[in-house]
Amino acid sequence: MMKNRTLVLLLTGVLAASSCAKGARAPEPCGNGEMDPFEGCDDGAREPGDGCDADCQIEPGWACMGVPSACRWTCGDGNLDAGEGCDGGGETATCNADCTMSRCGDGKHNVSAGESCDEGGQIETCNANCTLVGCGDGIRGTGEQCDGGGETADCNADCTWASCGDGKTNATRGEACDGGGESATCNADCTASSCGDGVHNATAGEACDDGGESATCNADCTPSSCGDGVHNATAGEACDDGGESATCNADCTTSSCGDGKPNTAAGEACDDAGESATCNANCTSSRCGDGIHNVTAGEECDDGDTNDANDCSNACTSNFVCSDPLTTPMAGGNGWAGSMFDVVATHDVTITGFAGSFYSGTQTIEIWYRMGTYVGFTSGMTGWTQLGSAVTINGGGNGVATPIPNTFSVPLNAGQRAAFWVTSRGSYQNGNIYTTGPTAGTQIAATADLQIFSGIGTYYPLSSGTFADRSFNGVVYYDCR
């Protein structure tokens, strides 16, 4: 084996030497038109694009035969020839039109593979994933600040960074609107403008906005001030009619006679918070003859007529002579603990005391009263008020009016009725002496100022029973007013 290898080497060297001796040249490299080792073709040129490239390799889509090589374009015939990576008889989803395997980024636009473009990488018009550059494709392209594949909290739909005030409403980040700043419909914080939202929007015509009524801002977003015509209770206004009205004073308090605030719209001629020398309690100007008795103005009376001879003169001085006291008939004839009756004033009077007819001996006396009649209030003390406290007297017997040392003051206006119960704590022949009849409610005595009517006799206490049609025996003391 060793001898054969040596022989081959010797023969090779001899042939080479013989050739050189004859002046022959060594084989030339690619482009000599001969098929040398490692060459796929050799067309005698080293120009690419003719089927045999500059390295003497068959170019994709070509077939080369013979020496020098003759090359022809075979890509697209559907046959996989030498140098072709694939051949689908044209462009397919996996094979480019030049018979190279299709892949995004190979620089060959393959529509069948779904490529919108292929520039071999990212450029201004084509993304690296072989889609056309466009806002909303989720890929940040040249000229785009961001691209979230649509609107996101950080990126607007037009691929600009999102921020309140950029003039682009981004609902994803919670913007109700975005006017690029405050507008008539949009607040500076990108919320929709409405009076009462708590955001002061001057462009929308709001002078203030406290999220509702406050002491300084009305609910309609105008500044609160008394007289603005907007009732603001928080600011302490009871009313606000935009000035004085029949129900509202100019200082936004409710108008009423006696409030000390003259309100002409309410028909007040004056208002001194009550009666004064120039103003009546009903807010009319005080004058003698107006029919309103104004004590502060020095009037003793005022009947409002021109009769100078009646109880009240035309100078508002009193012609009236009080007929105090009122004494009832002292006929006696019957008696028990107490006597209950009504009185009616015919002039303004004040009841100040009583004298009564009592059986002889020491008596403990109580006096009770109520405004209105006694009728319906004879079975208990509900509705009655005691005048002073119980007092002790020595009864003078039949026909004698014994004064009751109990002072009080019960004012009655003309026409007003009151009921009284004058009672001892005794019983039959040990208490009050009264007269049987006439029928209860019959007048038994009167002066020009006061009337007294028959009533009932009573046990003590009142809940023990009554006696119908009994008349009080005694005296009623009063003052005229």
Per-residue tens of pLDDT for the chain, all 481 residues: 333 333 333 333 333 333 344 444 445 689 898 988 988 898 888 888 888 998 999 888 888 888 998 888 888 888 887 778 898 888 998 998 888 899 998 888 889 988 889 888 888 788 888 988 888 888 887 788 998 988 999 999 999 999 999 999 999 999 999 999 999 999 999 999 999 999 999 999 999 999 999 999 999 999 999 999 999 999 999 999 999 999 999 999 999 999 999 999 999 999 999 999 999 999 999 999 999 999 999 998 999 999 998 889 999 998 888 999 999 999 999 999 999 999 999 999 999 999 999 999 999 999 999 999 999 999 999 999 999 999 999 999 999 999 999 999 999 999 999 999 999 998 888 899 999 999 999 999 999 999 999 999 999 999 889 999 999 999 999 999 8
- Residue 109 within a domain: no
Please count the CA atoms within 13 angstroms of the CA of 133 that sit on its side-chain side: 16
> In which domain, by residue range, is 367 found?
326-480
Contact 455, 323 (CB under 8 A): no
Task: Indicate whether 348 and 308 sit together in one domain.
Answer: no
Residue-level pLDDT at 3: 36
Residue with tokens 């025996």: 473
Q: What is the pLDDT of residue 27?
A: 54
Quick one: tokens of 185? Answer: 């419909």
H/E/C letters for each residue in the chain?
A: CHHHHHHHHHHHHHHHHHHHHCCCCCCCCCCCCCCCCCCCCCCCCCCCCCCECCCCCECCCEEEECCCCEEEECCCCCCCCCCCCCCCCCCCCCECCCCCECCCCCCCCCHHHCCCCCCCCCCCCECCCCCECCCCCCCCCCCCCCCCCCCCCCECCCCCECCCCCCCCCHHHCCCCCCCCCCCCECCCCCECCCCCCCCCCCCCCCCCCCCCCCCECCCCCECCCCCCCCCHHHCCCCCCCCCCCCECCCCCECCCCCCCCCHHHCCCCCCCCCCCCECCCCCECCCCCCCCCCCCCCCCCCCCCCCCCCECCCCCECCCCCCCEECCCCCCEEECEEEEEEEECCCEEEEEEEECECCEEEEEEEEEEECCCCCCCCCCCCCEECCCCEEEEECCCCCCEECCCCCCEEECCCCEEEEEEEECCCCCCCEEEEECCCCCCEEEECCCEEEECEEEECCCHHHCEEEEEEECEEEEEEEC
| CA gap 339, 444 in Å, rounded | 14
In a domain, 308, yes or no: yes
For residues 302 and 388, state if they share a domain.
no
Do residues 288 and 350 both lie within one domain?
Answer: no
Backbone angles phi, psi at 19, to 5 degrees: -65, -45
349 and 308 in a single domain? The answer is no
Examine the fold and report which residue of 72, 87, 102 is the final residue of a domain before the chain moves on: 102
Question: What is the per-residue pLDDT for 238?
Answer: 96
**Which amino acid is located at 159 in the chain?**
C
59 contacts: CB under 8 Å, gap ≥ 6: 48, 49, 50, 51, 52, 53, 71, 83
* Beta strands 474-480; 349-356: pairing state: antiparallel
Measure the CA–CA gap between 99 and 88, rounded to whole angstroms.
8
Residue 389 lies in a domain: yes
Does residue 196 fall inside a structural domain? Answer: no
Are residues 296 and 337 located together in one domain of the fold?
Answer: no
Residue type at position 98: D
Q: Indicate if 332 and 462 belong to the same structural domain.
A: yes
pLDDT tens column, 83-110: 788 988 889 989 988 888 999 988 888 8
Q: Which residues contact residue 70 at a Cβ distance below 8 angstroms, ignoring those fewer than 6 apart?
A: 43, 64
- Tell me, rounded to whole angstroms, the distance of Cα 183 from its chain centroid: 24
Q: Which of 197, 177, 196 is nearest to 188 (CA)?
A: 177
Question: For residue 194, is it within any domain?
Answer: no
Q: What distance in Å separates the CA atoms of residue 425 and residue 403, rounded to the nearest whole number?
A: 17
Instruction: Provide the pLDDT for residue 19.
Output: 39
262 and 345 assigned to the same domain: no
Amino acid found at 436: T
Question: 9 Cβ partners below 8 Å, 6+ apart?
Answer: none
Distances (CA, A) of 10 to 1, 6, 17, 51: 15, 6, 11, 40
Residues 308, 337: one domain? no
- Is position 217 within any domain? no
Task: Choose one of 53, 79, 102: the last residue of a domain.
Answer: 102
Q: Do residues 343 and 397 share a domain?
A: yes
Choosing from 272, 294, 320, the residue where a domain stops is: 320
Q: Is residue 282 part of a domain?
A: yes
The CATH number of residue 339's host domain is 2.60.120.820
For 227, left (φ over 0), alpha (ψ -120 to 50), or beta?
Answer: left
Annotate 202-241 with b (16+ C-beta within 10 A) or e (fewer).
Answer: eebebeebbeebeeebbbebbebebebebbbeebebeebb
Q: Distance (Å, rounded) from C-alpha 170 to C-alpha 438?
A: 99
| Distance in angstroms (rounded) separating the CA atoms of residues 478 and 445 | 14
Cα gap 247→249, rounded to integer Å: 7
**Counted domains in the chain:** 3
Do 346 and 434 fall into the same domain?
Answer: yes
Other beta carbons less than 10 A from residue 267's beta carbon: 11
For residues 346 and 467, membership in a common domain is answered with yes
Distance CA 353, CA 204 (A): 76
Same-domain status, 344 and 459: yes
Q: How far apart are CA 359 and CA 361, in angstroms?
A: 6
Q: Could you tell me if residue 252 is inside a domain?
A: no
